[in-house]
Chains A and B, each alone.
Chain A
């Protein structure tokens, strides 16, 4: 005796091939179609659109800034930042991997610490890379470098702390108006470094890092980013992270609007204030992208096109003639 199981009803929204019309080669009415003709028309239309938009709107090109333009425009910010680099108190100095191994500086997700796992792969000693190294590259290095190197760690900290506080209290934070005090060789070193920067030699020394060829701008970008100059310029152009800066670009251009979701999370709480906001947003966007990719497998989500029947608009001719 044989029993026949009732045929399992197929979900019309399923990704499976199934036995329905969607899973079989179309055997119904057809219309003429010319693939190459459509491709040619598409290409011509795209070229015309692009040429028209390029001629009408062009593209932005705000000139790059440099250590020179920074030191000329905002010498006080330059000196305050260089002092922090020398003292090891700048953002870069305390960043953690991949630049250094500052304890507790990494962004973690529970027990997961990808930043530490990746390790210190691009080591940067800010004092050496941004101050002592460039000063030592001069034909006659200032004597302050030797004094600094001979001093104890406590003595160095005392000098830089006192000098940083003095700059902070000075009129317009101008290093020239700093009150007298025991700052050791720091003011003289900063004067020489500022001269190097305003004359343009610091850019090449920091970027070249003692080599002829260089395509790595990591040290110069980090140094400038530690100051207020680069950040203020970006904020003025609506490029900061909390200004949807991730998707904006300079001028009135559409920018990377496709990054809207990534940028969105940096605008809202609780994400905007999280100390580990970057890793949280990265993981969140990765999960959402994966969800979009796997929509056909997700019950509920894959049925939305049936609940909101926009397909009736797309295939209105078909439905009208059925």
Chain B
């Protein structure tokens, strides 16, 4: 008796009744392969309606996030003072700043695009929620970055921002004038949060596929012709 291959599971999820997985790991694999088989995770085709420049911005945000993380890693490995005293350091700081600006620009266009497409339709509500959540956590991540600049701006922002945080009762645990605390938030917790939420968001997109047009109908040529051909 041989265990089912991934392809078999992907194509015939019910086969496990004949070849049951007996371990937690096997069951987890079965669940994952059922929910997200390899051809959905890494597709070689997309529905015909995925043909607009608006679809570029989601990928643009992910690409910018990669540059944000890479430039931030170089800055953090050299310590908080490096970019004040080194020309190269200042340039890397500039790339960190501008990759953040592009990240938010692309993310906002992507978000508005998805709103006008009502992209939560057809069971995609968690995809929408994780998208907005990544935007909100991204804002917190960027804010803590502004506090780490160790220049006039970070001094002023930490003085001004403390009031809202103290009024909300979190100023002692999220103390904007405490550089040590802000380092942990900015280079560990919040980037991990953004990366994890974005990764989950992308997996959900792959699981559910790109939302079809609002007025799509069975009689549309893009659906009807394929249906006829298959019959």
Contacts and interface: CB of A to CB of B under 8 A. Distances in A.
Contact of A27 (B211, B213, B227): B227
A318 B179 contact: no
Interface residues of A, number: 109
Interface stretch (B21-29, B187-195, B215-223): B215-223
Given A35-B43, A278-B163, A306 B132 contact: no
Contacts of A233: 152, 156
Nearest to A276: B167
A30 B209 CA distance: 12
Contacts of B221: 321-322
B49 interface: yes
Contacts of B74: none
Contacts, number: 313
A61 interface: yes
Contacts of A36: 42
Interface string B41-71: 0111111111110101001101110110001
B52 A315 contact: yes
Nearest to A23: B122
Interface in A220-234: 221-222, 224-225, 230, 233-234
A65 B124 CA distance: 50
Contact of B64 (A25, A46, A62): A46
Contacts of A47: 63, 67
Given A28-B48, A28-B220, A118 B170 contact: yes
Contacts of B161: 246
Contacts of A239: 153, 156, 160
Interface of chain B: mostly helix, strand, loop or mixed:
helix
Contact of A319 (B60, B168, B215): B215
19 contacts: A15-B125, A18-B123, A22-B212, A29-B47, A46-B66, A55-B91, A58-B94, A64-B150, A64-B151, A122-B175, A230-B159, A256-B139, A282-B164, A289-B136, A293-B132, A296-B125, A304-B115, A318-B222, A319-B213
Pairs A-B, 6 closest by C-beta atoms: A22-B122, A114-B169, A121-B172, A17-B123, A215-B180, A54-B94
Interface of B: 42-52, 54, 56, 59-60, 62-64, 66-67, 71, 83-84, 90-91, 93-99, 101-102, 104, 108, 113, 115-118, 120-125, 128-129, 132-133, 135-136, 139, 142-143, 146, 149-156, 158-164, 166-173, 175, 177-181, 183, 209, 211-223, 225-227
Given A62-B152, A222-B159, A239-B156, 11 more contacts: A15-B124, A17-B122, A18-B122, A61-B90, A122-B171, A216-B177, A282-B167, A305-B118, A311-B117, A315-B52, A315-B214
Interface of A: 12-18, 20-36, 38-39, 42-43, 45-47, 49-51, 53-55, 57-65, 95, 97-98, 106-107, 114-115, 117-119, 121-122, 215-218, 221-222, 224-225, 230, 233-234, 237, 239, 241, 245-246, 249-250, 253-254, 256-259, 276, 278-279, 281-282, 289, 292-297, 302, 304-306, 308-311, 314-315, 317-319, 321-322
